[in-house]
Structure 1
Amino acid sequence: MNPQIKICSCNHTLPINAASARKIAEAVGAEAVQHSDMLCRREAGQFLQAMQGVEDVIVGCTQERALFSELGRESVAPLRFVNLREQAGWSEEAPRTIPKMAALLAAATLPEPEPVPVVNYTSDGNLLIIGPADVAIPWADKLAPQMTVNVLLTEGAAHGARLTERTFPVWSGHAITVSGYLGQFEIRWQQQNPIDLEVCTRCNACIASCPENAIDFSYQIDLNKCRDHRDCVKACGPIGAIGFERLATGRDTQADLVLDLSRNALLKMSDKPQGYFAPGADVAAQFEAVLTLTQMTGEFEKPKFFHYKDKLCAHSRSGKQGCTACLDVCSTEAISSVGDKVSVNPNLCAGCGACTTVCPTGAMSYAYMRAPDTGSHIRTMLQAYHRAGGQDAALLLHSKQAGAALLMEVGQLARAGGRGLPARMIPLALHHTASTGMDLWLSAVCYGATQIVILMTDEEAPEYRAALEKEIRVAQTILNGMGYQGKHILLLAESSASRLPQQLYAMSAAHTPPAATFHVAKDKREALDFALGHLLLHAPVAVSEVALPKGALYGSVTVKQDACTLCMSCVGACPSSALMDNASMPQLRFIERNCVQCGLCEETCPERAIVLTPRLLLGEEAKQTRILNEAQPYHCIRCSKPFATAQMIESMLLKLSGHQAFAGHLDRIRMCADCRVVDMMSTQEVRRPQ
């Protein structure tokens, strides 16, 4: 059954009437679209009545999402909300925004993607606070009644913070390391201060006895002030909490949550693990962090954002390093090298998807949403947009958090003299803006998007911008190389709602082919094949190849034939079957379509005879096998069986002539493996004593 779609002119501030509702219905493929002028609290009763007996309802407004969601609990109809006001109709181009509204509503009619596996966390609320005493102790005092609190002091108290009764464990230390994630943090440090806080009874005798006032009420000795009179040691007496002779002692603990109040965060990665908070010295940020962590007790789950196929991975072979793209871009340090493969810790993964964007083989793919699902959204939106009469469609990819909030502010400003979003800019919310790559961008161009604008705000890690810029450069080079004029894919870093519209309106539509109807394939390279095939079919310029920037995911391999011995080490190293041998004769073959330019063949070649050339070879030639090097086979001097090439045998003779295993027996190098063994055994028979 078609969903029931309800839209509203928001008290005549949007260009919605009976005619535009019919136009939207035709573009979306709905039987009808119900429209009103005040789909809000005034019509809540009518809304509830309209939901009875309906299987699916789409509301073209988010203003009263909370109210309608509450009303919807009394109905079995699933509710979906689409922001037609701030993202479309509130714009200086309002009369031209009906096609965009149709696009947004069409996407909402699509079924929910298949569920993805989840990653589980368990937290008992065991909190470790790390930082100077003046900051850490007051927060510990506030949180101790609610949570299990431990404190690790990095400095003594400069402004009078006091440790009083032993409400919670307190340690002190330096050289602190933190690893793990929500529910499973491991913290290690060196305890070096003369006063051991776990032994100290806080009797204050040491403070009273210190002539330099080097001990404060956090019971830590300022070693810059201390003149080593040892009066404090005497005052401490048999308690034995003070030991100047103590060497640095390694200690460790576990925690579910970490509140790092150090001046500089202990964890340096751009995106911190779940359960780790480093608000710095900003008091408001500290309050926000504390408010969040107090809610993080119990069981939690998040999607497993990625899918990894190790058989496709081009990271390493036999200890030789190839592709490190995912390792280089990960902002959470969730990806590590494990032998010839990589390993991803799903608990550390933040779901940015950048690893999938830069992966040349498709070994790493994004699961939230999967590429085919995102492709379906893009295709559906653009088809509805064009059916409603829209022209020069552009996609505005943004995050569901900061990006969506920014677009909301842009729309609100439009009612106060701002410009709003251009009518041709169709917003598409993503879990993260780094999660789409060349396969989806080029497919979107094939579907009719004259531009794909990737909006980045302050929430994204800096690693992502460099990675996206590199991928965009390759994709744009391909498009322009085929003769498609203009800038099709742009990265826009902007967090100002007043400046963003000016930049969007300044963009001009780029040249695109006739709209395609293919679906985005699950496999990245296959999806690219579909897109590149469509682009080539309609290319304005006849072209057989496009030169690409270094590091591109397509390219050629050439072999220095005078150096190559046809040892086939490169064939064994190639992860994508681009390089192949020939079982019938010494021959190195190559299929360019399969090459991912990982460099493993180049690294593995003992003769340094391989050179990579980034380029995109177009047409059938890219799929055809070509011979890079071949030679006449060398025949065993004993059984005449072919087993190597003449060049390889000559090279081995040169290198092994002085080796003791072949001294006086160089002819064995000219024998196949079987005959070599026979010759060795027969020699031993001759030498056996009678």
Structure 2
Amino acid sequence: MPLNAKALGEALREDLTLHSTLCRRDAGAFQRAIQSGEPVVVACTQEQRLFADLGQQTEGALSPIRFVNIRETGGWSRDAGKASPKIAALLAAAHLPEPAPVPTVTFKSAGRLLIIGALDAAEQAAALVSDVLDVTLFTQGPGNAGGAQARRFPVLGGRITGLTGWLGAFELQWAADNPIDLDLCTRCNACVAACPENAIGLDYQIDMAACQSHRACVKVCQVAGAIDFTREAVAHQERFDLVLDLRPADATPTFLQHALPQGYFRGDGRDMGMLLRLRELVGEFEKPKFFAYKQKLCAHSRNETVGCNACVDICSAEAIASDKSRQQIKVNPNLCVGCGACTTVCPTGALTYAYPGATDQGLKFKTLLSTYAAAGGKDAVLLLHSQEGGQALVEELGRAAQLKLAHGVPAHVLPVALWHTASTGVDLWLSAVAFGAAQIVVLVTSEEAPQYLEGLEAQMAVAQAILHGLGYAGTHLKLLRARNPMDLDAGLQALSQTRQTVPGTAARFAVAQEKRSTLEMALDHLIAQAPLPAAQRPEAIALPATGAPLGTITVDKDRCTLCLSCVSACPASALQDNPQLPQLRFIEQNCVQCGLCATTCPEDAIALQPRLLLTPERTQLRVLNEAKPWACVRCSKPFGTVKAIEAMLGKLSGHPMFQGEALERLKMCSDCRVIDLYSSQSETKVTDL
């Protein structure tokens, strides 16, 4: 690779010495570095295992070691000669501290494996893992070759009625509704030979659709007594730690979600990689709790009325469910796979991505972009990709470029590995543009669920509408679909054909963990640096109806009775009342467009209007509707509104319970109503006496 130690040192403000064979002849330099106690970054991931082993063998080694790939991401490319600013940026980001630890989710597996499938395939797979795992089979037919005569593993049979859970906590429910009891069956094959319809297979279960009730099988099984057509179906349940599902693809799967529970594997039993992973899942395991939830910010429901359902709809693991009775959502941390899609579409920031948090991710973006610019780089593109499929594609592209089969990652494209591509959204993307990114490209492969792509595209449309409305030319957000290195190469080369307007001065704010705070800081900077002069800007930028976290509401004053039910439903305090006057007031900056106000309004008087207001009124309290107050007919104290009281009188005047004095009391305040009621009862008693 063409590496310029002097240029990299100037960009990183360090004196650098270039070692061309650090993993061989120059290994002593690495050993001396890790004895210093200072963090050490090794710019090679190919020999990561060798360096880790060498670190363990080096006496007095105290330094934490991190690794960064600058070869496939920059050095192996036709643009390698111009990649120094990018390489400096990647090295600078690798020097950042690790994210702070977060709570973990623990899984415990004793190795109890359930294999569901044809008996022959299930037994073959079981034979490859039974030395490590405690295997139970659930037969789904004999298969092509039939089952083995030797009873090597427990076999269950019947009809599966349910399978739920996750690694270490799967629960199987089934109905033993077949006449043959597999516990009593000796596999003598007498019933198989006796059945005239061949309705009994070598899984020793009867195909009831083919059976003609000759009962020849019962006669030949009198000694074992395993066959009883009068036996009632019995419901059973049992717990397992792992599940291997060998049923064919056209069979109804147990789990329908895109992201399968950890510990559940689906295949044909011949994938050795899958079987090896199964063998390793015995013991205690931990993963980060990827999300943090603040119920007070949640716009999901109020008063058992659902407003925002974005996180429930997008979760591909079915880990999020509605709990309207508690006015919140429930997230199952055991099912959560850490994709972060829920945090991306959450308008309020009630759900936030915890590991790494927005603060850590924002610092990484800022470091990459500022170092790249300081080193002379132009038109920076952040390529956000997953740590698995996306990372593999980037590395394959680098190797293809080294073999002169592809162009490789361009010099202005900075790859950034994410746990999942759905974990960043409009707040971080706009922050990256404010920090100087010309484009944010999200690389998606076959890993992503369809709803993730829809969510990302909706969020990108919102961000792009804001940028275009402010006069930033070009396409700043892009979803790049690629299934192979050549697709990725073509997509990256196409990026160089367009130019984007960026802020004249890069932002310096620190990304906050709170989504709305970060979004507001990014918007403030982008508005201040907008290419379009203030006099030429529209009063408001219209935003797409789907996914917009910003906007106002319109109130039909003819229908609104100022009941203020919308105020109590609003989770963001965007809607407020006035204790002194019958008024409905609004702060647009707080509105998250959740729709709870519109759903709650009994008069259907509220409609949402997604937009970004550019005038100072966006942050100010303004009156949406007001009315003349109704004065109590007894004490003249104002309560309610004339419109609301007159509407109530009109609806109740014909009711038999509200006639005469009862109807008159509706015109009184609550205090006078009580006083008048007791006064009337006292007068009645005196009259009776």
TM-score, normalisation: structure 2: 0.94
**8 A contact 2:141–2:201 mirrored in 1:** no
Q: 1:677 to 1:661 in 2, by over 3 A?
A: farther
1:522 pairs with 2:513: yes
**8 A contact 1:181–1:273 mirrored in 2:** yes
Cα displacement string for residues 264-283 of structure 1 (whole angstroms, at most 9, x for unaligned residues):
3321100101101012x3x5
Q: Aligned partners of 1:143 and 1:175: how far apart in 2?
A: 23
User: Which residue of structure 1 lines up, in the alignment, with residue 417 of structure 2?
Assistant: 429
Cα displacement string for residues 403-433 of structure 1 (whole angstroms, at most 9, x for unaligned residues):
1111111111111112111000011111111
Q: Aligned partners of 1:557 and 1:214: how far apart in 2?
A: 67
User: Which residue of structure 2 lines up, in the alignment, with residue 571 of structure 1?
Assistant: 567
Q: Aligned partners of 1:670 and 1:367: how far apart in 2?
A: 54
Q: Aligned partners of 1:235 and 1:145: how far apart in 2?
A: 36
**8 A contact 2:341–2:423 mirrored in 1:** yes
Q: CA deviation at 1:619?
A: 4.0
User: Which residue of structure 1 lines up, in the alignment, with residue 75 of structure 2?
Assistant: 89
**8 A contact 1:156–1:222 mirrored in 2:** no
Question: What amino acid sits opposite 1:536 in the alignment?
Answer: I
Could you tell which deviates more after superposition, 189-198 or 86-95? 189-198
Cα displacement string for residues 95-147 of structure 1 (whole angstroms, at most 9, x for unaligned residues):
11000000000001111111111110000001111122232232234433332
User: Which residue of structure 1 lines up, in the alignment, with residue 365 of structure 2?
Assistant: 378
Cα displacement string for residues 511-546 of structure 1 (whole angstroms, at most 9, x for unaligned residues):
100211111112111101110001101112232310
Correspondent of 2:438 among 450, 461, 468: 450
Q: CA deviation at 1:679?
A: 2.6
Q: 1:536 to 1:268 in 2, by over 3 A?
A: same
User: Which residue of structure 2 lines up, in the alignment, with residue 352 of structure 1?
Assistant: 339
Correspondent of 1:485 among 473, 476, 479: 473
Kindly report the root-mean-square deviation, in angstroms, between the aligned alpha carbons of the 2 structures. Answer: 1.6
SS of the equivalent of 1:662 reads coil
Aligned residue runs from structure 1 range 152-191, under 5 A? 152-162=138-148, 164-165=150-151, 167-191=152-176
Q: CA deviation at 1:678?
A: 2.6
Q: Aligned partners of 2:12 and 2:616: how far apart in 1?
A: 38
Q: CA deviation at 1:632?
A: 1.5
**8 A contact 1:163–1:218 mirrored in 2:** no
Q: Aligned partners of 1:203 and 1:424: how far apart in 2?
A: 71
1:335 pairs with 2:320: yes
**8 A contact 1:277–1:289 mirrored in 2:** yes
Q: CA deviation at 1:214?
A: 2.0
Q: Aligned partners of 1:660 and 1:23: how far apart in 2?
A: 91
Q: Aligned partners of 1:160 and 1:238: how far apart in 2?
A: 24
Correspondent of 1:510 among 471, 493, 500: 500
Q: Aligned partners of 2:188 and 2:509: how far apart in 1?
A: 78
1:684 pairs with 2:681: yes
Correspondent of 1:673 among 652, 670, 675: 670
**8 A contact 1:182–1:276 mirrored in 2:** yes
**8 A contact 1:257–1:275 mirrored in 2:** yes
Q: 1:515 to 1:168 in 2, by over 3 A?
A: same
User: Which residue of structure 2 lines up, in the alignment, with residue 533 of structure 1?
Assistant: 524
Cα displacement string for residues 21-45 of structure 1 (whole angstroms, at most 9, x for unaligned residues):
1221221232x11213333323223
Question: What amino acid sits opposite 1:215 in the alignment?
Answer: I
User: Which residue of structure 1 lines up, in the alignment, with residue 178 of structure 2?
Assistant: 193
User: Which residue of structure 1 lines up, in the alignment, with residue 597 of structure 2?
Assistant: 601
**8 A contact 1:60–1:81 mirrored in 2:** yes
Correspondent of 1:461 among 424, 449, 469: 449
Cα displacement string for residues 616-668 of structure 1 (whole angstroms, at most 9, x for unaligned residues):
11242110011011112111112222111000001111222233432332112
User: Which residue of structure 2 lines up, in the alignment, with residue 66 of structure 1?
Assistant: 49
Aligned residue runs from structure 1 range 302-313, under 5 A? 302-313=287-298
Correspondent of 1:266 among 254, 269, 292: 254
1:545 pairs with 2:543: no
Q: CA deviation at 1:209?
A: 2.8
Q: CA deviation at 1:223?
A: 2.2
Correspondent of 2:576 among 552, 569, 580: 580
SS of the equivalent of 2:191 reads helix
Q: Aligned partners of 1:658 and 1:257: how far apart in 2?
A: 67
User: Which residue of structure 2 lines up, in the alignment, with residue 440 of structure 1?
Assistant: 428
Q: CA deviation at 1:449?
A: 0.4
**8 A contact 1:41–1:64 mirrored in 2:** no
Could you tell which deviates more after superposition, 21-30 or 155-164? 155-164
SS of the equivalent of 1:427 reads strand
Could you tell which deviates more after superposition, 566-575 or 80-89? 80-89
**8 A contact 2:551–2:588 mirrored in 1:** yes
Q: Aligned partners of 2:600 and 2:259: how far apart in 1?
A: 35
Q: CA deviation at 1:199?
A: 3.4
Question: What amino acid sits opposite 1:151 in the alignment?
Answer: L
Could you tell which deviates more after superposition, 505-514 or 93-102? 505-514
Question: What amino acid sits opposite 2:41 in the alignment?
Answer: I
Question: What amino acid sits opposite 2:646 in the alignment?
Answer: E
Q: Which runs of 5+ in 1 are unaligned?
A: 1-13
Q: CA deviation at 1:175?
A: 4.3
SS of the equivalent of 1:540 reads coil
Question: What amino acid sits opposite 2:553 in the alignment?
Answer: V
Q: 1:682 to 1:163 in 2, by over 3 A?
A: farther
Cα displacement string for residues 128-185 of structure 1 (whole angstroms, at most 9, x for unaligned residues):
11122232232234433332111112334443223533x4322112243211110111
User: Which residue of structure 2 lines up, in the alignment, with residue 407 of structure 1?
Assistant: 394
User: Which residue of structure 1 lines up, in the alignment, with residue 86 of structure 2?
Assistant: 100
TM-score, normalisation: structure 1: 0.94
**8 A contact 2:99–2:356 mirrored in 1:** yes
**8 A contact 2:125–2:270 mirrored in 1:** no
**8 A contact 1:118–1:302 mirrored in 2:** yes
SS of the equivalent of 1:181 reads coil
**8 A contact 2:509–2:521 mirrored in 1:** yes
User: Which residue of structure 2 lines up, in the alignment, with residue 620 of structure 1?
Assistant: 616
Q: CA deviation at 1:238?
A: 6.3
Question: What amino acid sits opposite 1:326 in the alignment?
Answer: C
User: Which residue of structure 2 lines up, in the alignment, with residue 223 of structure 1?
Assistant: 208
**8 A contact 2:179–2:229 mirrored in 1:** yes
User: Which residue of structure 1 lines up, in the alignment, with residue 379 of structure 2?
Assistant: 392
Q: Aligned partners of 2:336 and 2:434: how far apart in 1?
A: 32
**8 A contact 1:138–1:161 mirrored in 2:** no
Aligned pairs, number: 669
User: Which residue of structure 2 lines up, in the alignment, with residue 237 of structure 1?
Assistant: 222
1:629 pairs with 2:612: no
User: Which residue of structure 2 lines up, in the alignment, with residue 118 of structure 1?
Assistant: 104
Question: What amino acid sits opposite 1:76 in the alignment?
Answer: L
Q: 1:278 to 1:635 in 2, by over 3 A?
A: same
